[in-house]
Amino acid sequence: MFSIKLRGKKLGVVLAVFMMLFIVYYFSINDLDTKNEFKKNGFIFEKSNKHQMSFNSKLVANDGGWRENDQVPIKYNGKIGDKESMIISSSKKPLFSNNRIVHLDLKGAPPKISYYAEFFPLIRSLGATGVIIEYEDMFPYSRTELSAMNAYSKLDVESILKLAKNNELDVIPLIQTFGHLEFVLKLEKYKNHREINKYPQVICPSKNMSIILLKEMIDDVVSMHPNSKYLHIGCDEVYYLGDCYSCVQKMVKEKLTKQQLFLNHVTMLSRYIKEKYPYLTTLTWDDEFRKFSLQELIDSGIGSLVEPVVWKYTPTIDMYLPEEMWDKYAKVFGNVWVASAFKGATGPEKIITDITYHLENHKAWVNLVNVYTNKINFKGIVMTGWQRYDHFAILCELLPVGIPSLATNLIYVNSNNIDLNMLLDKVESTIKCGSGFFSNTAGSHCSFVGSGIYDAAIKLNDLNNQIKVIMESSVVKGWFTQYNIDTGFSNPSHVEEATLELDRFKMDLLYLEQDVIKSMNEVYNSDTVKEWIDTNIKPLMMTLQTMWASKEKLLERQDWPRRPFSSSHNEDL
């Protein structure tokens, strides 16, 4: 009996030791798997499958990003990622793995062809799979009056396409066919194509000459892009519809609503493309579709003709794109694209890009796509970079100025499992920027192609801010107002204080103008350089010169009249 108990104890000890060895071995293998995966990917932190399941179960949506409750900080390159810095998606596989498209808006500041030779390899290295080119009036149309006087030639377009092919980038041409046709409808020759005679935004869809024009433009663009698989026909922001005489007549005769008039136009053009170019898939912006009922969309047959591109450029998007909309789209469209923004969405006059704002937009899109991925087949993402808000607007941030934002967001959408420190490290090493790039700090010392323009824009923005601080100071508001200047009545010591930095501002702006001319000439033609200077530097210089003249006027005076200053009381003025 005693010997049996002893053998039982020995057996228990052996089993316990074996179990301990198994546990140590199990965790060491999992830890090794994790380290190997981390090392292999460079900046993506992976866990073993078992741990990943546990990890995913604790993920919550917060502030547009996926974060873990009570997450253990991750150390990478000497930096710690805590709860506030983690930007982690619940999906291990990167979203939009097939189509990560960068939008090039050529209705303002079209780059020289030589710039594409540098830009395309850069975005390919960052994870882009293609570009969507919105030519507007930079395309060499057969109706030559539609093209800008500095439009690309056919040889130029062929060169762009060849450079894209060499860098394994798909090219999707975009041509507006409903709204935003200002570049056509502004012309005297095409005034009678307008939906409303006063406004050159929207073409009348009920006139035969409008359809002939649009089909010719489509044929021109498609013929120059024989290898493209997609054609984007715009159709966003159709603000005026069913107002012209031709549309009213058609609506009465065919008993159409304005919604049906819109859908008839889009389906007509889409069928034309599908029948003549069956290898092409037609894309459209989706905003007008949001207004329609499920039945209206189904009855139109639009679902078999186009793939919508759902766009929203704000840090919060779910409140604007509700679940009902996605339910509707899921029942109509086989494939859906989404569109974010890496620049050109924070103001028509902006000269620098708010990277944080655009990263939040992309985080919001990643979260939303994860929510609806089992309901919607998301085909890809278009990362828009608007150059003008419309044909008549001034230039917003130039393309090189938006590259740090583009790099940040391309790497982010291409790598779901990534924390903020790793993301910034990757961006810094790829575009060769200092750590200040994320906050647009002067002295970031970037060296990507066109970085001289980026540096100049940051310096100009800083100078603008310095001048605004002076203009908002109490000494200016109290002693250097237009009233003080008009009456010649102010305290000289306060005038001197208010204008103390004026000389430095003028010199800084003169030097900056020379830097701008030099750096922009490498990327843009002289017309774009002049427009940017006339828009952003010349008005500021005029302000400084006016302030200088006002200062001189006020300081000339050494005696002052009694109040009041009206001529009926005082003839000293």
Active site residues: 237
The answer for residues whose C-beta is within 8 angstroms of residue 188's C-beta and 6 or more apart is none
The dihedral of CA 427, 431, 435, 439: what is its sign? negative
Nearest C-alpha neighbor of 283 from the set 95, 101, 96, 98: 101
Please classify residue 541 by burial: count the beta carbons closer than 10 Å to its beta carbon, then call 0-12 exposed, 13-18 middle and 19+ buried: middle
Nearest C-alpha neighbor of 532 from the set 518, 520, 514: 520
C-alpha dihedral, 509 to 510 to 515 to 517, nearest 10°: 110
CB 370 within 8 A of CB 433: no
DSSP letter string, 297-321? HHHHTGGGTEEEEEE--SS--TTTS
Specify the DSSP element, H or E, that contains 272: helix 258-276
What HEC string does 209-253 produce? HHHHHHHHHHHHHHHCCCCCCEEECCCCCCCCCCCCHHHHHHHHH
The dihedral of CA 283, 289, 294, 295: what is its sign? negative
CA 237 to chain centre: 18
Question: Three-state DSSP class for 338?
Answer: strand
Gap between the Cα atoms of 485 and 52, Å rounded: 69
> How many beta carbons lie within 10 A of that of residue 465, not counting itself?
9
Please classify residue 204 by burial: count the beta carbons closer than 10 Å to its beta carbon, then call 0-12 exposed, 13-18 middle and 19+ buried: buried
Single-letter amino acid, residue 522: E
Cis upstream peptide for 539 (omega within 30°):
no
Q: How much of the chain is helix, strand and coil, in % rounded to 5? A: 50, 10, 35
The answer for residues whose C-beta is within 8 angstroms of residue 183's C-beta and 6 or more apart is 107, 136, 137, 146, 148, 391
Gap between the Cα atoms of 257 and 234, Å rounded: 21
CB 195 within 8 A of CB 247: yes
